[in-house]
Structure 1
Amino acid sequence: MPLDSAETNAHLARLRELCDGEGERVDLFEAALILSILQRDEAIDLAPLRQHVMAITRDLADLVRRRGAQPDRLADVIASAYGYRGDSETYDDLQNADFAKVIERRKGLPVALSILYLHVARAQGWESEGLAFPGHFLIRIEIDGARHVLDPFNNGLACDAAEMRGLLQRVLGPQADLSPEHFDGVPDRDVLLRLENNVRLRLAKREDWAGASRSLDRMLAIAPDRAELLFEAGQINARLDKRRAAIAAFERFLATATARADGELRQRASALLQELRRGLN
């Protein structure tokens, strides 16, 4: 049964609560499960999923006690013991960006698998974060002062600089090379945005503008003041003839620092806003 509007609003409010503040550290596991509920627009029995992931964390802790703390312990448990892997065969399937489905199917997109790896690593007490790496999401964990880059999509294997360069060149072309920003950590809020953006892009590609609009609502619950999301929400709501929602989005966009700094974009938003307001008269 689809969620009613009160249930949808309650889940969006919970997502906003989880992502409130600077967004550097968020309960990624719980936030990603809420995204799954909202993506499917139906209730999900989360208890088995939580129990399953708790079993993974216990198994990792047991393995670390027996064999020591090493970066490949995550892969030993998540990929080898539990069979999680990247879905390269049906990569664009929306299930790969539905975190609850990823747990059920044990396969998904790089960023969805990364959320599981980050949650389990943090439960072990390891400092962990996503990286600002283009086109293919990677994570970094710190164990006893040493940092390691892992590729959850590729069975959680550790990546050295040469392997990262190869990944980068497959995404950006053979002339691309690693630079310091590719090793920058990203806030947890941006990890969630990257997960949901996979949904939005696939819905937009199908020209499912109503679905893309709901996806943007979820992204704006994660990052309410993100200028590019507000601008796009204005455009999509205008396309759907949801004039009041489009007006609200453009008004919020014009209050952002991005709008104040980018005169051309500010003028475009102002012109669209005026046209929408005229349509209400």
Structure 2
Amino acid sequence: MGDRSMYLTNWNALASLDDEALPLLDAALLIARDEYPDLDTELYAAQVQAHADALRDEVAAIEPSALKMAAINRHLFVELGYSGNHDEYYDPRNSYLNQVLDRRLGNPISLALVQMEVARRLGIPLDGVSFPGHFLVRLPVDGGLLVMDPFNGGRPLAVEELRERARPHLGEPPDDKVLLQILSPAPNRAILVRVLRNLHGLYAEAGEWDRAARSIDRVLTLTPEQPDAVRDRGMAYLELGYLPGARQDLAHYLQLAPEAGDVDQVRERLIHASASRTVLH
């Protein structure tokens, strides 16, 4: 991967990597460093490695991959006490990996990330799944898939439960073909974008527009020219009173998505931004 230290501090260098080379753990810690600038990324990377090292001999002695995964889940979710934060699901700390490792609390995608990173260090090809609603993980086993819910202790999910979980988002339970498509592995870049979008949504809902703008700007660093992200950054800039940035992003969104359902609303906001004057503080 080249000089790893460069990717731990430089978003543009990180974003230039192909998806296969994009280091999931390092990038997740870089997201956390935006909120916690003094964060020691090496310390937290070592903590994940320590989780894997503690399991290495036990997992090596187990043959079936499903049982290897059961040992990993027992260590993470029972012995170490990682769990889904059901009481404060929308706490932004659930999305920052340093806080997840410190508090042993997280949301589905952050817990999946810990689970995946530990499993992969033990040679187990655990992948994330951008399932509708809650993020899941999957492991190929005996010609099929073992799908697990990291938010609920890594519990395996049967096919019928997966269909029912997807039903509210699709309007009907998916057939086998659609379900397999939904269960496709999520690329690292898509996982990081989902973390950042979660943060953007939380901060926008709370009116913390500086953090909302920061989160969605990181999305655009990883996936340039994404229309919804361009629009969302423009809206955040507008709320912050940064009118040149708002005008540029909202106009660009109208060029990127001229047929989108919200173009009239965005055009109205652009007119408002163009008619306003930038106030310098």
What one-letter code is carried by the residue in structure 2 that aligns with 1:240?
L
Equivalence for 1:34: 30
What one-letter code is carried by the residue in structure 2 that aligns with 1:156?
G
Indicate conservation of the 8 Å contact 2:26/2:45, yes or no. Answer: no
CA gap of 1:121–1:222, structure 2 versus 1, over 3 A, is: same
Given the alignment, which residue of 89, 105, 118 partners 1:120?
118
Once the 2 structures are TM-superposed, how far is the Cα of residue 44 of structure 1 from its aligned partner? 1.0
Q: Which of 198-207 and 18-27 deviates more?
A: 18-27
CA gap of 1:275–1:172, structure 2 versus 1, over 3 A, is: closer
Once the 2 structures are TM-superposed, how far is the Cα of residue 15 of structure 1 from its aligned partner? 3.0
1:165-244 matched pairs, under 5 angstroms: 165-168=163-166, 172=169, 176-179=172-175, 180=178, 181-244=181-244
Relative to the length of structure 1, the TM-score reads 0.81
Indicate conservation of the 8 Å contact 1:39/1:215, yes or no. Answer: no
Once the 2 structures are TM-superposed, how far is the Cα of residue 26 of structure 1 from its aligned partner? 2.6
1:63-78 matched pairs, under 5 angstroms: 63-68=58-63, 69-70=65-66, 71-78=69-76
Indicate conservation of the 8 Å contact 1:72/1:157, yes or no. Answer: no
Aligned mates of 1:122, 1:57 — CA distance in 2: 9
Aligned mates of 1:11, 1:231 — CA distance in 2: 27
Once the 2 structures are TM-superposed, how far is the Cα of residue 113 of structure 1 from its aligned partner? 0.5
Q: Which of 178-187 and 107-116 deviates more?
A: 178-187
CA-based RMSD of the aligned residues comes to: 3.0
Indicate conservation of the 8 Å contact 1:141/1:147, yes or no. Answer: yes
Once the 2 structures are TM-superposed, how far is the Cα of residue 151 of structure 1 from its aligned partner? 1.0
What one-letter code is carried by the residue in structure 2 that aligns with 1:18?
L
Relative to the length of structure 2, the TM-score reads 0.81
Per-residue CA distance 1:96-135 (angstroms, 9 max, x = gap): 1111100111111001101111212222233332223111
Indicate conservation of the 8 Å contact 1:133/1:183, yes or no. Answer: yes
Per-residue CA distance 1:222-263 (angstroms, 9 max, x = gap): 32221101011112212222012113323543554xx25x26
Once the 2 structures are TM-superposed, how far is the Cα of residue 269 of structure 1 from its aligned partner? 5.0
Between the aligned residues of both structures, percent identity stands at 25
3-state SS, counterpart of residue 127 of structure 1: coil
Equivalence for 2:159: 161
CA gap of 1:245–1:95, structure 2 versus 1, over 3 A, is: same
Aligned mates of 1:109, 1:263 — CA distance in 2: 31
Per-residue CA distance 1:180-231 (angstroms, 9 max, x = gap): 1422332221211221222222222222222212222222223222110101
Aligned mates of 1:205, 1:27 — CA distance in 2: 30
Indicate conservation of the 8 Å contact 1:199/1:215, yes or no. Answer: yes
Given the alignment, which residue of 17, 20, 24 partners 2:16?
20
What one-letter code is carried by the residue in structure 2 that aligns with 1:29?
L
What one-letter code is carried by the residue in structure 2 that aligns with 1:226?
Q
Indicate conservation of the 8 Å contact 2:234/2:245, yes or no. Answer: yes
Aligned mates of 2:61, 2:208 — CA distance in 1: 50
Indicate conservation of the 8 Å contact 1:141/1:149, yes or no. Answer: yes
CA gap of 1:25–1:164, structure 2 versus 1, over 3 A, is: farther
CA gap of 1:250–1:158, structure 2 versus 1, over 3 A, is: same
Aligned mates of 1:19, 1:143 — CA distance in 2: 32
Aligned mates of 2:89, 2:12 — CA distance in 1: 29
3-state SS, counterpart of residue 117 of structure 1: helix
Equivalence for 2:83: 85
Aligned residues: 266
3-state SS, counterpart of residue 52 of structure 1: helix
Q: Please, which runs of 5 or more residues in structure 1 have no aligned partner?
A: 1-9
Indicate conservation of the 8 Å contact 1:209/1:240, yes or no. Answer: yes
Once the 2 structures are TM-superposed, how far is the Cα of residue 82 of structure 1 from its aligned partner? 1.9
